[in-house]
Chain A
């Protein structure tokens, strides 16, 4: 409930924004939006006539249709699957709830191209729209599950009990009260799902499903046609912006939290009775499909063995490199998110919130576009310095996954109301001690979560890595790709396996963290919703 108090204080209401913080946030935003500048510059180079020819053709309509239907269906399914799974785990007496809660999060850490690789290994002929829906849903539903589960934990179960006692059926209680309580978290997760699906490439490439993003790759790579690729990317950005705007409208402006932790007591789980095995079967099936199939396929390929014509590579070095990059990107993105998060929580003005939201759009920009934009910019403005060096690669990762960091850091900062710091200061504690004894304990875990999310995504990133990695430096993803490209699947498998292991650790940490601190994830859900920061009615 700290965010309510933070909002009530609204310290910056009638004052100017703190200049240093504002400058920091503005600089970060500019850097994050650099790829968009590149897109516009490139698209404008060809002129309007050719641009129109490139954009207004039948293929564009097909691609937009393919992409939009996929985003809609996957997002809808993720909402249903994620919310139901969260309800079962949080509100019912389904057996093994604690373990299920962790297992349900881990798929988030499995790279999407490994998921589709796994499905392809099991069902070689899988492909097309429904395969894309299946694979993406199983890969990203945790983005809904995580915040919803946590928000259910934080919400007052008494509301549901009251509804039941007033004669509302179980289903209607779920649909009105439960879903109502989790609404903000659901939409917050759904928006991330939509943006991630927009930018996805690897999975659809393997599954042979054509979206705007796969076409952008084709135009860049096969077509040598940067203007066309950039024009299509702008459509993608537009769709991302529409998604963000649409969510604003749909989410509504109501307040879903309660004031004060007051009457909270241990929740009495809904007794499922005879439906219990059925519920366990359902959630269990989800775990098997989302986690079992890819992991099983990897293990099968490992055991099965097979020849490759490729030379051996070092798994240990690739693992160390991946670890170093992921950790560095996690730190940079998390720190870069601090100024924007601080501003938007403590000075929730319209333009501050606008700036925060604009940053989220970058999640819809494909990795290759970000990589090529940095190539272009270092070439044109830095005389090629930093190009294909580790710092630039880390910057690329930090830009790509910045939205995930912003969302988490904001949630963390919201937990440390300025008032608590003032109390500390007024009690004569030094600034440094306030930082260590008040601010960090409150904010720290959220920063770790932001770090873990970015770490997770970076460890599995492929397309930007291929363009920007220092020559000679291989990561797990690039080695996996090299083997997979050559259909040397059993040699690709160990790299996929280590990626899953590396990703499972932060996945587990995230799961545990939200497990203990439900309101954190609620805040994550809210963090994509600027209006929620001024929630107190008069």
Chain B
């Protein structure tokens, strides 16, 4: 024993010391990693919303209130999952999403605190959480994007259900794993039943074939390039693509399904406060700001190309005015947590 230790241990002791000091140095080095304004008492916002608009909103809020905000951006579904895993000790104070299902998911787990009635009153009730656990901030609507060289407006389908027809084989693009797609699935299942929704998904998947993409940005881009004729997206993707490639590079347009079609779905982006938050009053102020006229004006004039829904603010940015939209009447409660849509997507092997 003694011998063995001696043999293998020649030079080991100073090595241990050297190793420990190296490790200490490494940790100190990592500690140097810095952010914009690391304030331990800052209000932590987990955001799945467009970084562009969210940063503008946060900056305006900080100026207006003097409250520091730490912004953490990721996909809304990742963040929702992360908050659930973090549990009662989540660092998040506010969760700001692109669609209602992730908020409803957290609400269903009992993780959200009630929003102040005065804030809820900023937004029409149909855009808010049915139980007052989060507030609606902006709206988006599902549309078709089509390549204007490959399709004329009169060749477009009038219902999302037609996308399952064989004539669209090889001509449509799909991002089945996007959270933006789930409300359409829920809507179809709500109107036509679960089995019909599954058959529709399977047919649409077969029609999309190799044009199945990881996200709606790619769908929009491929349609614009003419690699595929038609895609199913939310309106703002196309506006952003146009802002990036310019009018000269735009070879696509968007179109709506027939009024109140199952594929014509309005989704609400909203924000909620975590029950576990130690900064609830600051968080309430943040939500109040998002839905105030000042906050809504930022959304109206940002590159988000969404529809403000609170405090009476309107925008001319998406070309179709908000009051002329004719989506189907599916409610936030009916859209739910998206669990049913996810099950269907899994059965259709799109997830």
Contact = CB atoms under 8 A, between A and B. Distances in A.
A12 B1 CA distance: 9
B297 to A, nearest CB: 17
A167 B19 CA distance: 54
A467 B270 CA distance: 22
A11 interface: yes
B8 A342 contact: yes
Given A218-B351, A307-B243, A485 B215 contact: yes
A330 B34 CA distance: 19
A346 B8 CA distance: 8
Given A221-B77, A328-B26, A473 B33 contact: yes
A387 B91 contact: yes
Interface string A304-330: 001111110000010011001101111
Contacts of A439: 10-11, 15
A467 B77 CA distance: 12
B30 A435 contact: no
B7 interface: yes
Contacts of B50: 486
A466 interface: yes
A288 interface: no
Nearest to B92: A471
A223 B344 CA distance: 11
Interface stretch (B81-89, B144-152, B199-207): B81-89
Contacts of B75: 221
A221 B84 CA distance: 12
Contacts of B117: none
A284 interface: no
A376 interface: yes
B212 interface: yes
A418 B8 contact: yes
Given A18-B4, A482-B51, A432 B179 contact: no
B51 A471 contact: no
Given A18-B5, A470-B35, A486 B240 contact: yes
Interface string A462-491: 000011001111100000001001111000
A324 B30 contact: yes
Given A224-B80, A307-B246, A18 B87 contact: no
A222 B303 contact: no
A306 B14 CA distance: 56
Interface stretch (A73-81, A245-253, A390-398): A390-398
A226 interface: yes
Contacts of B303: 309
Contacts of A15: 1, 3-4
A15 B240 CA distance: 69
B110 interface: no
Interface in B32-65: 32-38, 44, 50-52, 55-56
A37 to B, nearest CB: 15
A325 B23 contact: no
Interface in A7-49: 11-12, 15-19, 21
Nearest to B37: A472
A224 B349 contact: no
Given A128-B210, A394-B30, A471-B35, A218 B11 contact: no
A93 interface: no
B221 interface: yes
B91 A388 contact: yes
A383 B346 contact: no
Interface stretch (B66-74, B127-135, B157-165, B256-264): B66-74
Contacts of A222: 77, 177, 179, 342, 345, 351
Interface string A222-233: 111110000000
A220 interface: yes
B105 interface: yes
A472 B342 contact: no
A431 B14 contact: yes
A422 interface: yes
A292 interface: no
Interface in B223-240: 225, 227, 240
Interface string A360-377: 000000000000100110
Contacts of B38: 470, 472-473
A218 to B, nearest CB: 5
B316 interface: no
B83 to A, nearest CB: 10
Interface stretch (A132-140, A178-186, A331-339, A501-509): A331-339
A238 interface: no
Contacts of A18: 4-5, 8-9
B89 A383 contact: yes
Contacts of A62: 349
B350 to A, nearest CB: 9
Contacts of B241: 487
A390 B30 contact: yes
B11, B36, B82, B213: which has the most chain A beta carbons within 10 Å? B11
Given A219-B351, A331-B26, A482 B73 contact: yes
Contacts of B55: 311
Contacts of A206: 214
B262 to A, nearest CB: 21
Given A328-B29, A379-B87, A218 B8 contact: no
Contact of B244 (A58, A224, A482, A487): A487
Given A221-B78, A226-B81, A335-B23, A431 B11 contact: yes
B31 interface: yes
A224 B34 contact: no
Contacts of A223: 342, 346, 351
Nearest to B249: A306
A124, A221, A482: which has the most chain B beta carbons within 10 Å? A221
B207 to A, nearest CB: 16
B22 interface: yes
Contacts of A287: none
A224 B105 contact: yes
Contacts of B213: 208
A205 interface: yes
Contacts of B246: 307
22 contacts: A18-B9, A124-B221, A206-B214, A208-B213, A222-B342, A307-B243, A307-B246, A317-B34, A329-B26, A331-B25, A332-B26, A384-B89, A394-B30, A418-B8, A435-B15, A439-B15, A471-B44, A472-B35, A472-B36, A472-B70, A474-B35, A485-B217
Given A332-B23, A487-B220, 15 more contacts: A15-B4, A125-B222, A218-B177, A219-B351, A222-B351, A307-B243, A310-B52, A311-B56, A324-B33, A332-B26, A432-B11, A435-B15, A471-B44, A472-B38, A487-B244
Interface of A: 11-12, 15-19, 21, 58-59, 62, 124-125, 127-128, 205-206, 208, 215, 218-226, 306-311, 317, 320-321, 324-325, 327-332, 335, 338, 342, 346-347, 372, 375-376, 379, 383-384, 387-388, 390-391, 393-394, 418, 421-422, 424-425, 431-432, 434-435, 438-439, 466-467, 470-474, 482, 485-488
Pairs A-B, 7 closest by C-beta atoms: A472-B35, A384-B89, A309-B303, A435-B11, A331-B26, A15-B4, A328-B30
